[in-house]
Amino acid sequence: MGIECLVLGAGQEVGKSCVVVSMGGKRIMFDCGMHMGYLDNRRFPDFSLISKTGDFDAALTCVVITHFHLDHVGALPYFTEVCGYHGPIYMTYPTKALAPLMLEDYRKVMVDRRGEEEQFTYDHIMECMKKVTPLDLKQTVQVDKDLEIRAYYAGHVLGAAMIYAKVGESTIVYTGDYNMTPDRHLGAAHIDRLQLDLLITESTYATTIRDSKYAREREFLRAVHKCVAGGGKVLIPTFALGRAQELCILLDDYWERMNLKVPIYFSAGLTIQANMYYKMLIGWTSQKIKDTSSVRNTFDFKHVCPFDRSLINASGPCVLFATPGMISGGFSLEVFKQWAPSELNLVTLPGYCVAGTIGHKLMSGKPTKIDLDKDTYVDVRCQIHQLSFSPHTDAKGIMDLVEYLSPKHVILVHGERPKMALLKERIQSELGIQCYYPANNEKLLISTTQNVKIDVTKKFIRNCSSAMLRNVKNSSLSISDSSSKYTEIIKLAREDTTAEGILLMEKTKTAKLIHENELLRTLGVKEHQVRFAFCCPVEVTRMEHLSNEANTTHCHENSFRKVDVPRCLATEDRLTTANKTLLHILLSELETRTECKNIQIASESLQLHTFHVCVCSDEHCSHRKKENGVGESVVYFCCSWSPCDDRLARELLQIMGRLTLSC
């Protein structure tokens, strides 16, 4: 069994993210984006690769959208309404709220302004959104019996999520776009430590390592302030959602602090609507904004007001946020035409501009003239500032995430091919994780490790935890405990915990792991124990005479009688006492000779681990070595022991053989 990964978009490129993952008989489509750089059919992912017949409902289990950017959600209405997918769609609450805004805005720009043939209508968008099931963070959703998905906070934009999916034993995470460092309004990505087979991660900045954000903020503010102080106008072309809000927070705070009165404008429409959503979805923002929201909603900007078209040529300095971000058309282009010819003015460009847009032309060297079409051109004399705010994580962040999750395989998407190759090398060499970066429409098969499910008994689990200490206990008892007093502790710390058990494979049943103590009961067999025994003669020099006869007659019964039983005959008592004295004498002798303090004295025997010694009164004890010429001064000690203590026992017996007790 393996995981099959079909990359329909964002393979070795940035744009139209779409990855279809099949595992355990389930097929999940992650993201359904469109490519902003193409106007032909390359704009959408090639859905025919999913199903030749076009029966997408059967081919896909579900679609999951990570966030509302068009390169992640742009093709969704087309896919559901035009291609006819009717299965479940999942996205987070903010994405569900904001995605229609983005889609509708795009549709308008495409159809109304450029006069293109429309790919989907407003009704399509609305219909599509109706099918969406909203997700909450860390909420596990059971899509069907086998497939469960869960969303984790990804930073990046409001409502962006990383998606964890699990089918049977196979687990994957699709990150979508994410940011590992917090910004002014969003927190850093946050995910649990998961056991993963596969991680599909974006790699927009596969080789860049960014510095602290503070310096970038400072640069930006300095540029803006300088321009405004000089009486110039600042044009900030942005996308309506995301970066615009961050820059707004930044500027609003700065304005407040510096007591600046220069107006900050927001081009009306989409952005204002978006701000409203941001205000409502405060729970998805960073900790700081959440904390202060009870006092003041950060998105209630004090200095920001809506823009009126008539203000374009008004005199005096101002700051204007206008869409779209890359000055590819629309309002920002209109304003750019008016403001670009003045040296006083400033245009800030977003971090990334698609080739072909004015933004891109401005970024690649400072042109003095920009042709709009063959008849019109714009004199560009204004200053250009390039923003380096990016909601994507940098190479360090990607490495950190991969290291943190430590999946078995990594697939890179949403990046540029040469950079991805470098990152792949790093991941493989530094982290030792298999890494791939398939191109579009490429299919990748990842083998997963086969896991066998077995049952375990409760007792086994319980014993796993205490097994280690038991080991210590066993080994710590040696004859001489004075030597190397730390060895067992060190052993304890260094050795891996291993739990021992017995695997039972019963017919027609799943395999079962049981504790060794349970084995006999489970199998219904009696336990056999092997013990060695030896009746060891020890010489005794008696100070006080004791009747041997009496000793022999009663000893047998006595040996099983407990000491603390109150009822006791005088002779028995005397005999027991005699035996006990003998044992005590033996104990003290042994202790002095072996320096071992671990010998314990029980009622009628000495014990050292499994080695037992008791006074033997049976003349015909089977363990006795027939020896002639044994005098009366010999007392027999019957010893028995388990094979595991054989060495110990033999040592002790040797010592005992050489002993002469005096009593």
Partner 1 sequence: MERALLERLQRRLSPGAADARGRIQALCSARSLIANPDSTESTRRSVVDALVASVRHHQDDPAFVHHALKLLGDAAVLCRPFAHSVVAAVRPFLDGGHSLTADAVASLASVVEADNGGGGEGFSLVASALDGDRILSLASSPIVAVRSQVLDLLVRSVERGRFWDSFGHHTTIQVFLGLAMDLYPLVRKRACDGIIALLREAAGGVDRLIVECCYDRAVVLLKDEEKLVRLTAVKLISECGELFAASQGETEHSEQMDVVFVQLCLMARDMCMEVRFEAFVALGKVRLVHETVLLQSLSKKILGIKSGKAIVECSTKGTKISLLSAAGAFVHGIEDEFYEVREAACRSLGMLTIFSVKFAYEATNLLMDMLNDDTEVVRLQTLQTLSHMANYDRLTMQDKHMQMCCLCHQLMVKIEDSCKILQYISGLHSIQTLEFSSHYVICEILQFLGLLADISASIRCLARKLLQLVKLPDFISFRDTIDCLISNLEAFPEEEEDIFFVLFSVGKRHKNFSAKLAKEFAKEIDLSCGELILDSHEVAAKLVLFISSSFSSGQRTTDIPMALYSYAVPFSGRIARALSGAVDQDSLLAYLCSHSKKIHKICTSSMPIHIAISDITRKGNVLDFSEILTCSEQTQEKCVFLNEETMQSIKLNLETVRKTWPLMKSHCTQVVQNMLRACKEELETIAWNADDGDASSFLDFAALYIQVIQLVTEILDKSLPKKSCIIGMTALDIILERLDMSLRRLRYGFSGLQRDEECHILELMLLSYVFRLLEIGVSRKPILARLTSTISRLEFLCEGPSNLSVFAKEVKHACTEGTATLFSNTYVFHKLLELFYPEQITFTGRFKQKKAEVLVIGNDSENPLTFVLGLPVGIFFRITLYEILNSDRLWLLLAVGESIQYVFLDLSQFEGCDAVRSCTLNVPFHGTPKAASFLLRASVGIECPSEDVTNHSKGQGWPVDDYAIICKENDVHFISVNNR
User: What angle, rounded to 10 degrees, do the helices at 570-594 and 548-558 form?
Assistant: 90
Residue placing its CB nearer to partner 1 in the complex, 476 or 660:
476
For the CB of residue 168, give the shortest distance to partner 1 in the complex, in Å.
21
For the chain, the helix, strand and coil percentages under 3-state DSSP, each to the nearest 5:
35, 20, 40
For the CB of residue 230, give the shortest distance to partner 1 in the complex, in Å.
12
For the CB of residue 438, give the shortest distance to partner 1 in the complex, in Å.
28
For the CB of residue 365, give the shortest distance to partner 1 in the complex, in Å.
27
User: Which of 161, 135, 130 is CA-nearest to residue 148?
Assistant: 135
* The two three-digit tokens of residue 268, written as one number: 């009306």
For the CB of residue 205, give the shortest distance to partner 1 in the complex, in Å.
12
**Catalytic residue check, 495:** no
Output the 3-class SS for 356-396.
Answer: CCHHHHHHCCCCCEEECCCCCEEECCCEEEECCCCCCCCHH
Residue placing its CB nearer to partner 1 in the complex, 182 or 351:
182
Q: Which residue out of 13, 81, 202, 518 is catalytically annotated?
A: 202
Residue placing its CB nearer to partner 1 in the complex, 130 or 485:
485
Residue placing its CB nearer to partner 1 in the complex, 188 or 502:
188
User: Which of 634, 641, 604 is CA-nearest to residue 619?
Assistant: 634
User: Cis omega before residue 324 (within 30°)?
Assistant: yes
State the Rg of the chain over Cα. 41
* Separation of alpha carbons 97 and 274, rounded Å: 10
Residue placing its CB nearer to partner 1 in the complex, 214 or 560:
214
Dihedral angle over CA of 239, 240, 244, 245, nearest 10: -150
For the CB of residue 609, give the shortest distance to partner 1 in the complex, in Å.
12
First to last CA, the chain: 77
Residue placing its CB nearer to partner 1 in the complex, 260 or 613:
260
* Three-class DSSP category at 244: helix
Where are the extended beta strands (E) located within 247-326? Answer: 264-267, 304-307, 318-322
| Residue 81 and residue 45 in contact, taking contact as beta carbons nearer than 8 Å | no
For the CB of residue 290, give the shortest distance to partner 1 in the complex, in Å.
10
Residues 77-112 as b or e (16 or more Cβ within 10 Å = b) = bbbbbbbebebbbbbbbbbbbbbbbbbbbbbebbbe
Residue placing its CB nearer to partner 1 in the complex, 67 or 185:
185
The set of residues, in sequence order, having a beta carbon less than 8 Å from that of 259 and lying 6+ positions away, is: none
For the CB of residue 465, give the shortest distance to partner 1 in the complex, in Å.
4
Residue placing its CB nearer to partner 1 in the complex, 520 or 634:
520
* The two three-digit tokens of residue 600, written as one number: 């314990």
For the CB of residue 210, give the shortest distance to partner 1 in the complex, in Å.
7
For the CB of residue 332, give the shortest distance to partner 1 in the complex, in Å.
25
Dihedral angle over CA of 468, 473, 478, 484, nearest 10: 60
Alpha carbon of 625 to those of 490, 546, 605, 654: distances in Å? 44, 24, 21, 14
| Residue 421 and residue 437 in contact, taking contact as beta carbons nearer than 8 Å | yes
User: Which of 622, 590, 630 is CA-nearest to residue 606?
Assistant: 590
* The two three-digit tokens of residue 83, written as one number: 């291609």
- Which residues contact partner 1 (rule: CB under 8 A)? 181-182, 187-188, 190-193, 209-215, 217-218, 221-222, 225, 229, 250, 253-254, 257-259, 286-288, 394, 396, 400, 404, 430, 459, 461-470, 472-473, 476, 485-486, 488-490, 492-494, 497
Residue placing its CB nearer to partner 1 in the complex, 287 or 447:
287
Alpha carbon of 97 to those of 25, 62, 104, 108: distances in Å? 32, 20, 12, 18
For residue 48, the number of C-alpha atoms closer than 13 Å in the C-beta half-sphere is 3
* The two three-digit tokens of residue 362, written as one number: 């401005």
What string of DSSP letters covers 110-142? IIIIT-PPPSS-HHHHHHHHHTEEEE-BT-EEE
For the CB of residue 636, give the shortest distance to partner 1 in the complex, in Å.
30
* Single-letter amino acid code for the residue at 608: L
Residue placing its CB nearer to partner 1 in the complex, 249 or 320:
249
In the 8-state DSSP scheme, what is residue 624? Answer: B
Residue placing its CB nearer to partner 1 in the complex, 287 or 547:
287
For the CB of residue 164, give the shortest distance to partner 1 in the complex, in Å.
14
State residue 307 phi and psi, 5-degree precision: -100, 145
Residue placing its CB nearer to partner 1 in the complex, 74 or 501:
501
Catalytic residues, which ones?
A: 202
